[in-house]
């Protein structure tokens, strides 16, 4: 039986759309049963409706600093729809430790950097300022600390000297759309387990390809041109 998944969004729902598309495959082990937004004007709501996924708005603004009150309303909706797993897709609301602990091992988030490097806001800018040659995206379990849970899957991309925050973001977004559904597949099929503070999987292993950046041309390559 397919696992019932809720996706929580606050904006356009780009990763949400990738998850919905993947889950439409007959052999995908999870179904997107509900999309919840804490903002009524989130563009992702219309994208979800267009895909036939039920949506719900639970405005966080009226709760102010009462995070526990908001989470009680959220939990009631999750219970009502029989949700087993949660995927955060650009959900701009921090959870209490109590909520994250109650969903420990069942709630995923994706962050556009190779964690533990560059957590928090502006990860693309952080990567460019640090001068790294590789960046990427990380799917991880949610814990009370921000962007710090056990890592389920990562994907890397090269960083060019000519990159801006926007161009790097676009390149990483392609990786996000690839790894998030695969990470959910691992979780939904029980191939992920948390061992202490790290995540271990029964996946087939890492890619055999190396990703090196920058690629330096050899003298022989130049003379051949």
Domain shared by 34 and 17, yes or no: yes
- 187 in any annotated domain: yes
Give, in degrees to the nearest 5, the angle at Cα 77 between 73 and 80: 135
Judged against a pLDDT cut of 80, whether residue 13 lies above it is answered with yes
Closest by CA to 21, choosing from 51, 56, 55, is 51
- Mark the binding-site residues for (6R)-10-formyltetrahydrofolate, compressed into ranges: 67, 109
Domain-terminating residue out of 103, 123, 155: 103
Q: What is the pLDDT of residue 211?
A: 80
Number of domains, the chain:
2
Residue bearing tokens 């950046």: 213
Judged against a pLDDT cut of 80, whether residue 208 lies above it is answered with no
Q: What is the pLDDT of residue 216?
A: 76
Domain shared by 71 and 125, yes or no: no
Task: Dump the DSSP string for the chain.
Answer: -PEEEEEEESS--HHHHHHHHHHTSTT-SEEEEEEEESSTT-THHHHHHHTT--EEE--SGGGTT-HHHHHHHHHHHHHHTT--EEEEES---PPPHHHHHHTTTTEEEEESS-TTSS-SS-HHHHHHHHT-SEEEEEEEE--SSTT-SPEEEEEEEE--TT--HHHHHHHHHHHHHHHHHHHHHHHHTT-EEEETTEEEE-S----S----SSPPPPHHHHHT-
- Residue 89 — very low, low, confident or very high, per pLDDT cuts 50/70/90? very high
Q: Catalytic annotation on 111?
A: yes
Domain shared by 4 and 98, yes or no: yes
Backbone φ, ψ for residue 52 (5° rounding): 80, 20
Closest by CA to 109, choosing from 85, 129, 135, 84, is 85
Please write the tens of the pLDDT for every residue from 118-134.
Answer: 999 999 999 999 999 99
Judged against a pLDDT cut of 80, whether residue 111 lies above it is answered with yes
Domain shared by 115 and 60, yes or no: no
Q: What is the pLDDT of residue 136?
A: 98
Q: What is the pLDDT of residue 206?
A: 66
**Distance between CA atoms of 153 and 146, rounded to whole angstroms?**
17
**CATH code: domain of residue 163:** 3.40.50.170
Domain shared by 51 and 126, yes or no: no
- Mark the binding-site residues, compressed into ranges: 13-15, 67, 109
- 71 in any annotated domain: yes
Domain shared by 97 and 123, yes or no: no
Domain-terminating residue out of 83, 103, 123: 103
Domain shared by 98 and 1, yes or no: yes
Boundaries of domain holding 144: 111-214
Domain shared by 153 and 57, yes or no: no
**Distance between CA atoms of 168 and 136, rounded to whole angstroms?**
9
Indicate which residue of 111, 124, 140, 177 is catalytic: 111
Q: What is the pLDDT of residue 225?
A: 55
pLDDT exceeding 90 applies to what percent of the chain? 89
C-beta separation of 29 from 23 below 8 A: no
Length of the chain: 225
- 40 in any annotated domain: yes
- 72 in any annotated domain: yes
Domain shared by 116 and 96, yes or no: no
Judged against a pLDDT cut of 70, whether residue 165 lies above it is answered with yes
Give the strand pairing for 192-195 and 198-201.
antiparallel
Q: Bin 186: left if φ > 0, else alpha if -120 < ψ < 50, else beta.
A: alpha
* Residue with the larger pLDDT of the pair 223 and 108: 108
pLDDT exceeding 70 applies to what percent of the chain? 93
- 220 in any annotated domain: no
Please write the tens of the pLDDT for every residue from 168-193.
Answer: 999 999 999 999 999 999 999 999 99
- 222 in any annotated domain: no
Domain-terminating residue out of 103, 124, 152: 103
Q: What is the pLDDT of residue 215?
A: 79
Domain shared by 95 and 163, yes or no: no
- Residue 209 — very low, low, confident or very high, per pLDDT cuts 50/70/90? confident
- Residue 36 — very low, low, confident or very high, per pLDDT cuts 50/70/90? very high
């Amino acid at each position: 039986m397919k696992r019932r998944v809720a996706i929580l969004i606050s904006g356009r729902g780009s990763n949400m759309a990738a998850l919905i598309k993947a889950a439409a495959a007959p052999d995908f082990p999870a179904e997107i049963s509900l999309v919840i937004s804490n903002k009524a004007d989130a563009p992702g709501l219309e994208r979800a409706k267009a895909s036939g996924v039920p949506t719900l708005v639970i405005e966080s603004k009226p709760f102010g600093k009462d995070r526990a009150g908001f989470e009680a309303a959220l939990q009631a909706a999750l219970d009502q729809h029989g949700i087993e797993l949660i995927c955060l897709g650009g959900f701009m609301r921090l959870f209490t430790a109590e909520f994250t602990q109650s969903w420990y091992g069942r709630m995923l988030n994706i962050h556009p950097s190779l964690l533990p490097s560059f957590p928090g806001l502006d990860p693309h800018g952080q990567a460019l300022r640090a001068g790294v040659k590789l960046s990427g995206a990380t799917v991880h379990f949610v814990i009370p600390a921000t962007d710090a849970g056990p890592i389920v899957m990562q994907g890397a991309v090269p960083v060019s000297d000519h990159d801006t925050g926007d161009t790097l973001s676009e390149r990483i977004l392609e990786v996000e759309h690839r790894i998030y559904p695969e990470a959910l597949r691992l979780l939904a099929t029980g191939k992920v387990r948390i061992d202490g503070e790290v995540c271990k999987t029964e996946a087939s292993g890492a890619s055999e390809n190396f990703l090196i950046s920058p690629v330096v041309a050899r003298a022989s390559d130049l003379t051949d041109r």
